[in-house]
Structure 1
Amino acid sequence: MTAVSDRTPVTLVSSLHREAAARIANALALPGTALISHDLRALPLGYVLRQTRTVLGGADQFAIEGVKLEHGCATCTLRHDLLPLLRTLHRTPGVERIVVVLDPAFEPEPVVAEIVGTVVETDELPAGTAGDDVVVRATLTSVDAASWLEDATGDRTLTEAGVSAVEDERTLAQAAVAQVRFADVVVVETSGAADDRYRDAQLSAALRRINPAAIQHPVRPDDPFGPDELLISLATVRPESRRGRLTTPFDPLLDGCPPLEADCGIEVVTFEAPRAFHPERLHGALDVLLEGVICARGRLWLTSSPDHVLWLESAGGALGISKVARWLAARSEEELAAVDPEVRAMASLRWDGEHGDRHSSIVVVVHRADRAEIEEALTGALLTDAEIACGADYLAALPSPFGDVHHDPCSDSPRGESDSISHEETTR
């Protein structure tokens, strides 16, 4: 594996708007830079459009190529095209940095997961992951101040919104929130007009509570928008920023210390409980997280899956729950030895003699919902003292509408099978 200092740095650029992402990428096109983008709008025709631009030795070269779909899957095509290309560019003389412009339908975190976790096997390259040769140093996301909050709180799918050219049940809200949550710098395109000041302040408050570690870089129509401004923002990225770090099931939910007080109607609601949820009552309570809520995320302890951490994540009118790991209390001594010491230390702070580290913890960012209503609904879904007294066998046998993966609003078809955020079982 190549030492981190010798890997080629990669910057990811994401946005719901292609033009905005292109402006950021072009501003980062300094000498020694290779830019890559994949446009998925040609998917119905059986290919994706790959654009590359290299600024090397004083020459600016641009190429467009249609990449045939592998297995009829956009994600598989990117695995077969983007990952080998990153490894090849790492070996290309003169390439000092790489900028990857993501199609609006893609979220940055799963792309990073592919870079660090997927083995690339070709005749031209030694076996290994793209992460052996490159390292994601930063992610920049552009948001439109006029539309982002509406996009992030709605329930339109990517297909309905015209972002995806093929059927995609993920929502625009899921993509919008995922892009912001993973960003190190959020470029906010705003009019700068006096009439829009409250809207801009409300958006800033929302972004600060979703991703408090990210630098917000406002851009008005008459502002300079070039490498100097973006490089200054990148240089001031906070130590706690993501910088390509993947989400794990035991991450602090208030990472980055978001403001807890309300601002412009935007507020963070936290919910903690040292007891399990009743499966059917929780299912009935989930609607409270789909109205007036920008996003929610957290760990759930469910009676029907007592050994598993269930991860809840919502954006706008869409919500998903999935098994992501096992509680430390359900692991063997050998398995515990492999767990990150920081995770073990955090678990010890809440350790219960009977239930170990099992707990429920949810953080909700609201813009119209009532805090008391959320707290009341979630509290009402917890087990009662009388139910707990019935014993472990009774609790484990309670009917549950949740399987390994569950989506609300309930549907027969899953949302975002391959391109949405996923959490693999981890010992971190």
Structure 2
Amino acid sequence: MRIALVTGLHAAARRQAVNDLLAAVPRSISVHHNMEDISDGAVHREVRDCSGPLESEQVHLDHACASCTLREDLIPFLLSTADAGRHDLCVVESWDGVEPRLIAENIAAQDGLRLATVAAAVDLAHLTADLGSNDDLSDRGLDIAQDDSRTVAEVLNRQLEYPNVIVLHGSGADRHARALLGQLNPAAVIVRSSSDLQGFLDGRFEPESAHARTNPAWAHYTDHAEDQGVRTVTWTRTRPMHPERLAEALEEIVAMSLRGRGRFWLASQPDTLLVWDSHQDLLMVENGGPWMAALPDAAMDLVSRTRRSSALLDWDPVVGDRRQHLAFTGVGMDTGALLTLLESCLVTEAEAGQEFHNDPFAEFSEK
């Protein structure tokens, strides 16, 4: 049975995309896990077809959370529906604050299911404001766990960057939205709501490829010329950054763009690849493991093929794959000021080789 996953923070846009698929494909149904009452321990499974609701019931889970819902109810429901053989397509409509990657990977791993497409539905009236929002999901009642501290901008970016199709809904600045979405996710086809989506159901969505192009530890980013005020600039250097100067500049760097992503190299941690993931004013830094150049030859085979391929593309005869590779996307962004600030964080020739005893990023070092 074919599966189409429809994701998105904007419920009305998401529901319209589901309706379009149900209307276009005979013998199709949709399933949606409503998590509106998840804080009270309740998750409701809602199933419908193009004529209306078929069933709605509370599902019993070990824990009321998104991962338990996926593992304990959605996947078993899809497998049993496929076994019954009455439907050619099931459209999985995700909840507002759920990111698509985990759902897509779990569906694609099932032998009886074919994940045909992952689509993100967007309301044009709210797109730019939500990407620039400082709201937490909890501020809008969209959190899906007690300790869910994710922001609206963070979740929306992940929903937009992963799919192979983005569906635009409602009235708004269509050309501006296409420019912004095209730079956040160059791999996606952008269509209007009520378009014929059947053509996206013939193939197979590959989560491995989507993960490879969205993982900042090895993804490769390119510049995009300004279009409708939107621009993406990519900064690549084979010199490390000074940890204290970078720490002092972080707040200003992050504030200059809507979205920042990539990997960076600190002089104080020469063997550690650090991941940069920023959404509006929120910056997350993670330890991405060792640079390939820091590994002994015997360990190379333990690294994923995607990571090895990325490292070879980056390889420098002196520093290996160590580098700064950061991409920033913004509207009306002062790219000159941003690049100047980033350059000021690089270690100078006089500082090369010195020890850095004060490292604000020490918590991310290899243990």
**TM-score (ref. length: structure 1):** 0.75
Q: 1:181-200 residue pairs with structure 2 within 5 A?
A: 181-191=161-171, 199-200=173-174
Q: Which of 213, 217, 220 is the equivalent residue of 1:253? A: 220
2:96 partner SS: coil
For 2:310 and 2:139, the matched residues in 1 are separated by 42
Q: Which of 355, 359, 367 is the equivalent residue of 1:399? A: 359
Given the superposition, is the C-alpha separation of residues 326 and 9 from structure 1 closer, same or farther in structure 2, using an over 3 Å criterion?
farther
Stretch of structure 1 that moved more, 317-326 or 341-350: 341-350
Aligned to 1:171: 151
Letter in 2 for 1:47: A
Runs of at least 4 residues off by over 6 Å: 239-244
Aligned to 2:15: 22
2:121 partner SS: strand
Given the superposition, is the C-alpha separation of residues 160 and 251 from structure 1 closer, same or farther in structure 2, using an over 3 Å criterion?
same
Aligned to 2:90: 98
Aligned to 2:32: 37
Given the superposition, is the C-alpha separation of residues 209 and 402 from structure 1 closer, same or farther in structure 2, using an over 3 Å criterion?
farther
Letter in 2 for 1:87: L
Q: 1:235-384 residue pairs with structure 2 within 5 A?
A: 245-247=210-212, 248-249=215-216, 251-254=218-221, 260-339=224-303, 343-384=307-348
Given the superposition, is the C-alpha separation of residues 342 and 23 from structure 1 closer, same or farther in structure 2, using an over 3 Å criterion?
closer
Q: Which of 86, 89, 110 is the equivalent residue of 2:81? A: 89
Stretch of structure 1 that moved more, 331-340 or 240-249: 240-249
Aligned to 1:131: 110
Aligned to 1:122: none
Structure 2 portions without partners, runs of 5+: none
Q: Deviations over 1:327-358 (max 9, x none)?
A: 21122323313545665454334433443211
1:389 partner SS: coil
Given the superposition, is the C-alpha separation of residues 334 and 208 from structure 1 closer, same or farther in structure 2, using an over 3 Å criterion?
same
Q: 1:6-21 residue pairs with structure 2 within 5 A?
A: 8-21=1-14
1:245 partner SS: helix
For 2:186 and 2:206, the matched residues in 1 are separated by 9
Deviation at 1:240, TM superposition (A): 11
Does the 8 Å contact 1:307/1:330 carry over to 2? yes
Identity of aligned residues (%): 27
Given the superposition, is the C-alpha separation of residues 136 and 327 from structure 1 closer, same or farther in structure 2, using an over 3 Å criterion?
farther
Q: Which of 123, 130, 141 is the equivalent residue of 1:151? A: 130
Given the superposition, is the C-alpha separation of residues 33 and 85 from structure 1 closer, same or farther in structure 2, using an over 3 Å criterion?
same
Given the superposition, is the C-alpha separation of residues 262 and 115 from structure 1 closer, same or farther in structure 2, using an over 3 Å criterion?
same
For 1:43 and 1:65, the matched residues in 2 are separated by 14
Aligned to 1:415: none
Aligned to 1:52: 47
Letter in 2 for 1:109: R
Does the 8 Å contact 2:230/2:330 carry over to 1? yes
2:226 partner SS: coil
Letter in 2 for 1:95: H
Q: Deviations over 1:212-235 (max 9, x none)?
A: 22121124xxxxx26xx1224x27
Letter in 2 for 1:153: G
For 2:248 and 2:331, the matched residues in 1 are separated by 22
Does the 8 Å contact 1:253/1:363 carry over to 2? no
Given the superposition, is the C-alpha separation of residues 147 and 346 from structure 1 closer, same or farther in structure 2, using an over 3 Å criterion?
closer
Given the superposition, is the C-alpha separation of residues 243 and 52 from structure 1 closer, same or farther in structure 2, using an over 3 Å criterion?
farther
For 1:270 and 1:316, the matched residues in 2 are separated by 17
Aligned to 1:419: none
Cα RMSD for the two superposed structures: 3.0
Aligned to 1:230: 197
Residue 76 (str. 1) matches residue 61 (str. 2): no
Structure 1 portions without partners, runs of 5+: 1-7, 117-129, 220-224, 406-428
**TM-score (ref. length: structure 2):** 0.86
Letter in 2 for 1:79: R
Does the 8 Å contact 2:34/2:45 carry over to 1? yes
For 2:84 and 2:288, the matched residues in 1 are separated by 38
Given the superposition, is the C-alpha separation of residues 83 and 41 from structure 1 closer, same or farther in structure 2, using an over 3 Å criterion?
same
Does the 8 Å contact 1:139/1:244 carry over to 2? no
Does the 8 Å contact 1:184/1:241 carry over to 2? no
Does the 8 Å contact 1:138/1:244 carry over to 2? no
